Structure 1
Amino acid sequence: MADTTRQVEKVLLSLPSPGARSPEQRAEAAAAKDTARALRTRFLDAHADAVYDGLTDGRTRSLKIAELVEAAAAAFPGLVPTAAQLASERSRPQADKEGHEIDQGIFLRAVLGSPSAGPHLMDAMLRPTPSALRLLPEFTRTGVVDTGSVRLERRDGAAHLTMCRDDCLNAEDDRQVDDMETAVDLALLDPQVRVGVLRGGEMTHPRYRGKRVFSAGINLKSLHAGGISLVGFLLRRELGYIHKLVRGVLSEDDGTGTWHTRGTEKPWVAAVDTFAIGGGMQLLLVFDHVLAASDAYFSLPAAREGIVPGAGNFRLGRHTGPRISRQVILQGRRIWATEPDARLLVDEVVEPGDMDSAVERAVERLSAPAVPANRTMLNLAEEPPEEFRRYMAEFALQQALRLYGEDVIQKVGRFGGGAS
């Protein structure tokens, strides 16, 4: 493995940077990479469990994905890219990267696809973040935490998460994902919180100045600049805070009464003002109650962007049926809150001025003691963990491949100044 990797690196070093290569040089680089990737795939098909057990001391240690790929780079040279290779990639725009993240995708598809290693890694991703554990005493005492991109406030037993990236219409990047996971963890860990609420804040963007916006999806400007990573954004987002919205945060049994549950789950309300595009629409599919302003709309422009819309392909059809999910994902259909089909995505459509009171009513309904147990059982029935794990295994590779598709690089170049 290491020898093959060195041969590939020798080929790549003999060529111009990726963005400056001729068609013939791109073909030469692709052929060298394909040889190594075929070898990695065969190795992992046979040894993924042994590799994972070695990295986690027989599954006695919980490593999150970023920690796991770092450990794999050190323990198994050539299996995944090194820290130096990834650091070099991060300094380049997307069009000028070698695509080393594809090798991470090969590795993570094998690990997540394993019936033994996969669930262990999924559990590791449900552990609370160090930043949340650090901020928890402050939040339980004051009821307020502001991370810059997310403001978290506890009011009357509800944790209100407000996305505050007013500069980019709440388009998500690595920073937003990090802050969202911290905020979700705090809401789940605080015993004074019964229900979580997610809403977009007021914008300063000239077109939407003074208006609330839920989310414009992935930050295409960051993607164009090379700032959207497979591990730190795309996989952490799905297996981190979004999965925690579904399953809760996983805690250790400390012998004081946590024996009856693997973690802490709570019901969630989403309030959509103006629009929920891309990743914003994906979020709605995991909430227990979705409110939408009467002038709002929803879309998943995956075909335009050229990437896979997270777990949207896994979840959307369960809400809308296969025909509408194909119209939305494959053909870019936009659904307005007032359309009949929108009732498959939202629970209530309210006038913009009535959103605050609608949120209060939803929180009150979801505060009943039996709600958490029933939502747990609903989620087990509607989204079986093993099905989600198998989906995410294939997503890890397919999304990595799409990140480096020629069509994606061209499209994000055109959308480089904005978000979607």
Structure 2
Amino acid sequence: MSAQFDPSMFLAILPEIGLVVLAALTLLLDLVWQDRRCRFLGWITAGGLAVIAGLAVAFARPGPEPLLIFGGMLRLDNTGFVFRMIFLFGASLTALFAVDNEGLCRKGEFYTLMLVSTLGMSLMASSADLIMLFLAIETTSIPLYVLAGFIIRDQKSVEAGIKYLLFGAMTSAISLYGFSLLYGFSGTTQIYAMGQIFATGQISPVLIGMAILLVVVGFAFKISAVPFHFWAPDVYQGAPTPVAGYLSTASKAAGFAVLMRVLLVIFPGQTTTWTLLVAIMATGSMFLGNLLALAQKNLKRLLAYSSIAQAGYILIGVASGSDLGISGSVYYLLGYLFTNLVAFGVVSVVEDAVESSDISAFSGLSRRNPFLALVMLAALLSLGGIPPF
């Protein structure tokens, strides 16, 4: 590993550079086109994200050895690269689903904010320093707060944005306090250096346990795991449907990317402590998420509780504390991201047509639009783990 500066390092952050350029281009085109051709912004955004992903695969793939760049602020490895591709794929699908959304299709700011949030997620997955990690989290979160309340004429959307902002700010403060404890105990903000210091056993297990608790609480909110799931149903129901899909997939994946890296790297000697905590959250998420989903009459709320249960399934792999378990969680995330975004995409189409996301609005969908009904059936069967999906 090397922390020396090299101009070729900029190739390593090609996806992030591409996201900045695409966000600026989207905003500029929105100003030029105004209401004339703004519907094409969604196609341009999705196409641009596909190009960025292709360039990243061609030129920004990590080597056989992990690489620390920019003074150790970022770490380039295979895990981070996979998550960066997940975020680009999720953002591309979200942009496509927003094209025909009446509340979003003519809003260039929507695509710009989504791209900035994707940039933050990409940095989250590659962060190797607590300062960079916190900046990346805020770069991700602030645009999402705005996107959740994007349709200002809709009271539910505004309410969703405010709730997400309040709960998000609270948990960000908790995470920051946990980061400050980690820095105070280790004397460094470098994540991998922290892991080496904590592995010596010179720091009290009680103090380390406090830091683990605060960090896990902060990221449990990001992944909507029990008991920090309370915001998800209201926010998903009130937010624009493409935004709700993006929150339930890409944003959740970003939280898992950081949670995996922090727990496995900083606390390798405290596996018993944090695996028990994560296992309890996984059990609660699976049980409560599935149980409460049964009582829902709104499909977006049902998918919100489903995402809580899905977080529990993914946490099982994290709780194992093994490379095999982490690989399983990442593989599950890939399938979950696609099927959940497809489900929200169908909800978005139906909601635009009948102005309702209640389950009753889907009655007779197989007669009105057999293709949409078949796609929704496949997505729900996949989320339920029913063969062959």
What TM-score does the superposition give when structure 2 sets the normalisation length?
A: 0.38
Higher-Rg member (1/2): 1
Q: For CA contacts below 8 A with separation 6 or more, give which structure has more relative contact order.
A: 1
Is the strand fraction higher in 1 or 2? 1
Give the TM-score normalised by structure 1.
Answer: 0.36
